[in-house]
Amino acid sequence: MNSAELDQLLTTAAGAADPAGGFGYLDEHGARTPGKVPETWIGARMTHVFGLAAAWGRPGAVELAEHGRRALTGLLHDDVHGGWWPDARGGGTKQAYVHAFVVLAGSTLSRVGLPGGDDLLDDALAVWDGHFWDDDAGAAVEEWDAGWTSCADYRGANANMHGVEAQLAAADALAARGDDARAAQLRRRCLRTAERLVGEARARDWRLPEHFDAFWTPQPEYNRERPADPFRPYGVTVGHQFEWARLVAQLGTVVDLPAGLADAPGELYRVAVERGESPDGHPGFVYTLDWDDRPVVPARMHWVMAEALAAAAVLGPLTGDPRHGADHERWSNLVELLVRDPRTGNWHHELTPDGQLGHTTWTGQPDAYHVAQALLLPRLPVTSSVAESVVRAVG
């Protein structure tokens, strides 16, 4: 697991650790941006990544994972109302997207056996259960005010997708602690959420709607005027088709997928490739498509390529279909040609269709999570979470 590429990525990512707490925002040169307030979603992702690295004994990873854990239990935590702020300034809303990554961080620390991991996971799950999980809907609500008194009407597929990822990881961690009943409950939740959202995609020839109202009615025109939004873009998000394909496939390793989901990984993967790869004649995947499969935001986002590679790495062993291996090789070559920054080991977070640095949605290289998982998954046994796969691989 200690390949040169992964090693360079993690060396750069370590520089994001802010002495004041949490992880900062790395710029295009891999340096922490002065004055940029540490954000909770980045901190939780980095804690997850360094928790994984600690499992295979990377020097300094335990300390970096602990640095992240301390921020999540201190600087970034709301000690009055519970839950986590969006960033280190305190204040603001309580967001499902952010909390899903805190659950993921706690799950990883718990599963790899790092101190404090069990407590962080238990605390994060208590907040998720108490405020975000809507059992009637079989999915999570999106956002509350700071004091948990008012819930926004918006419902989102993005936060729910990462909620599935986080709850699968939590289930693995809890099963390792002997809590099989709780693990089974979380996996059933993941199944319900996948059925709801992937079912919406199936009904639209595998075009996955991202935005819903409080009654889970799709809002296909949402953010048409802000199509390049980093978290809620208009239209079909190609990278999320790949992520759902991978997550449903991983879910299928621990539960029996019903007929309505059994073919979903293959179909979501297929349409992401057919509709999202090079529709404008340039290499790589566009960010978003409209409802007629035409590019809306043609920028090439690093995370979309990373999730394409991750999906191919998971679906290949599970299906035995050689096209996944061929896709993985082709895209890996493209990463080396265009996407990977040889100075940092990270990937350029946004490129224009012709391969130049873009800045429409993302600046810098703040996130190691997508790239680290894309580099790890081809080397690991397929399980329902990356942490579980790492632990099994290192024995």
Q: Where in the sequence numbering do the catalytic residues fall?
A: 240, 370
Q: How far is the C-alpha of 105 from the C-alpha of 121, rounded, in Å?
A: 8
Beta strand 133-134 with 288-289 is: unpaired
Instruction: Give the three-state DSSP class for 125.
Output: helix
| Residues found in the chain | 395
Residues whose CB is less than 8 angstroms from the CB of residue 222 and which lie 6 or more positions away in sequence, other chains included: 210, 211, 232, 234
Residue 194: partners with Cβ closer than 8 Å, 6 or more residues away: 164, 244, 247, 248, 251, 261, 264
Q: Tell me the pairing of strands 143-144 and 94-95.
A: antiparallel
Amino acid at 150: S
Alpha carbons 344 and 269: distance in angstroms, whole number: 30
Amino acid of residue 395: G
- Provide the 3-class DSSP secondary structure of residue 162: helix
Q: CA nearest 370: which of 21, 8, 9?
A: 9
- CB–CB of 297/227 below 8 Å? yes
Closest CA to 349 of 241, 358, 373: 358
Q: In angstroms, rounded to a whole number, what is the distance separating the alpha carbons of residues 395 and 393?
A: 5
76, burial (CB in 10 Å: exposed 0-12, middle 13-18, buried 19+)? buried
